[in-house]
Structure 1
């Protein structure tokens, strides 16, 4: 039997003033939550991030509402040593030095195939040295054009598409990586506004080769603080954990991380813009890694179900509802 919540309403004659009880079941409350989340999806689709965030905050912490939004239990913020991280099963070298061996291998194989194909074409067509030089210069020009005009987007699109098509491991890793970003953001009180799993997906949704796959957030509050030149400790903590959530998820699942180098570089750039010393940046990273890892471990089932939803391309509202349905109130 679901949870029952009682609301009092004065529907009796004014002279009696006797309250009547309206019984609202947990299934009705869930339906109301889903209706709000459907509206959140509509606002995000229109690009009205403030309206979407307002809807979520209105339902935050209410019975049958969004119990988990911004409700994650966190570790105290202080300087944690590397030994303390090791005691919690975290090796920072394996976590913070991601190398994408899958895409690296695909790139090398493509280069080899291109070289062999060019050699075969040269022999079959009977190209002379001058023609071969012109062909090489043409390919170099296209490669340079991609780097300058699309920030390497065409090459990334090709390599990423091959990775998702022929490597199930790579495909699964990307999904779990993005589910980590999504879950940590939501539990820390930052609303995700959309996600893409592949570069091709990003191209279809954004219409630009310069946009890579990933999870986007309603971050106007952070941007307002950043533009003012002063980011609050709370906001910095949230985004430090969100930035490291992908690599941390991979580390917890596979024992090492491959993707997420761009996330780490962006976090480093933020620290530099705020004038952090290396010691202060290291302290922030160690706390964020430990905090993120413990949250992810506590809510492993929610991350797994969220990853399933994201693999099917479900909406942000559906993904949020999946988190709320999975996490028990006692575990928040």
Structure 2
């Protein structure tokens, strides 16, 4: 599943590796069995997690994380988020917590929209200037226009607008510091919520150019991907458990929620919302049932993000520096108070 506007969070079908048998897990639970400092042992585990993720051994990486959970120098925060009870919440209850769902679920990327409009105007003026400069005939001008329209259509059909997104996103990151920071905060929200709910982040990219260089494809958006074979297995059976649906809902809306908390509105994440809506429809949810699920998820995410503001902020700094998934997990573990989970 690919979620996101300019960026996204991604649940993609990943093939479980058979490398779990090769795990070499340092003793992360028993603090008194080794003279090695707990922090060093934990770092060694996270380095091995990074190594397994780079190899594509997603099941092995997840096994490492789960085996490292617990006190005594282990991972305390994975899947340890304190959540609100799941019940039917009214809009008034969300408003009391400073949440306006109308703006929450209708993000509009004004930055990319403005850049695209300016490029269209510049292209039109440039085309007219070239036409006059080279004294092109009406037929030549028409053929040029048709050629450009063909290129645009090919990108839209075969690459899902990937080339367009690449150009707009690259310009936006170069010209707008606010846009650049917003994307980082958006992805940090996805990453943090996923980890606290027990879903292991696999990799992340901040820009479309980074994604193109790593993936070699225009069809893949920038964003955060997750180790999701358990989700895929449930989808393939035709049944999705309530627990998995809750995780999916929260992770999908985490980026939008982060932007809403920081800026008062969200620009990115429209695709996140659309993909979640598509899932509800595929499950046969009525509008009332979908609304109930979204309201609970929104309230749950916002309260978690507020509770762990320091961890989210430090995580965003780490992701901005391009640190590995394991290093980002270490940042989360170091900046969450045990009393808050």
TM (normalized to structure 1)? 0.92
Of 88, 94, 102, the residue aligned with 2:111 is 102
List aligned pairs for 1:171-186, cutoff 5 A: 171-186=180-195
Question: What does the per-residue CA deviation read over 1:218-271, in whole Å, with 9 as the maximum and x for residues that have no partner?
Answer: 010011001101111111101100000000000000000000000011101111
C-alpha distance in 2 between matches for 1:199 and 1:161? 7
**For residue 279 of structure 1, what is the aligned residue in structure 2?**
288
Partner of 1:79: 88
Partner Cα separation in structure 2 for residue 117 and residue 45 of structure 1: 45
Determine whether 1:31 maps to 2:40.
yes
Establish whether residue 121 from structure 1 lines up as the match of residue 130 from structure 2. yes
What is the 5 A alignment of 1:97-176? 97-176=106-185
Work out the CA distance in 2 between the residues paired with 1:110 and 1:168. 19
| Pairing 1:206-285 to 2, within 5 Å after superposition | 206-285=215-294
Give SS of 2:79's match.
coil
Q: Distance in 1 between matches of 2:100 and 2:200?
A: 29
Tell me, what secondary structure is at the counterpart of 2:253? helix
CA distance in 2 between counterparts of 1:145 and 1:299 reads 44
Shift of residue 52, structure 1, vs aligned partner: 0.1
Residue of structure 1 in register with 2:211 after alignment: 202
Q: Deviations over 1:104-128 (max 9, x none)?
A: 0000000000000000001111011
**Range with greater deviation from structure 2 (142-151 or 153-162):** 142-151
Cross-structure match for 2:335: 326
Q: Secondary structure of 2:203's match? A: strand
Report the counterpart of residue 27 of structure 2 in structure 1.
none
TM-score (normalised: structure 2) = 0.90
Q: Secondary structure at the match of 2:75?
A: coil
* Unaligned stretches of 5+ residues in structure 2: 1-29
Residue correspondences, number? 312
Kindly state the Cα deviation for residue 51 of structure 1 after the two structures are TM-superposed: 0.1
Alpha-carbon distance between aligned partners in 2 of 1:317 and 1:307, rounded to the nearest angstrom = 14
The 3 A distance-change label for structure 1 pair 23 and 138 is closer
Query: In the alignment, is the contact (CA less than 8 A) between 2:31 and 2:73 conserved in 1?
Result: no
CA–CA distance in 2 between the matches of 1:243 and 1:306? 18
User: Deviation per CA, 1:62-102, whole angstroms, max 9, x where unpaired?
Assistant: 32110000000000000100000000000001111100000
| Higher relative contact order, structure no. (Cα contacts within 8 Å, ≥ 6 residues apart) | 2
Paired with 2:63 and 2:114, the residues of 1 have a C-alpha distance of: 45
User: What do you get for the CA RMSD once the two structures are aligned?
Assistant: 1.1
Whole-angstrom CA distance in 2 between matches of 1:309 and 1:6:
27
Structure 1 position 6, deviation (Å): 6.2
- Give me the whole-angstrom Cα distance separating, in 1, the residues matched to 2:133 and 2:277: 51
Runs of 4+ in 1 over 2 A off after TM superposition: 22-25
Residues 285 and 230 of structure 1, relative CA distance in 2, 3 Å threshold: same
- After superposition, give the CA deviation of every residue in 1:257-313 in whole Å (9 maximum; x if it has no partner): 000000011101111111111100000000000000000000001000000000011
> Which consecutive unaligned segments of at least 5 residues does structure 1 have?
8-21
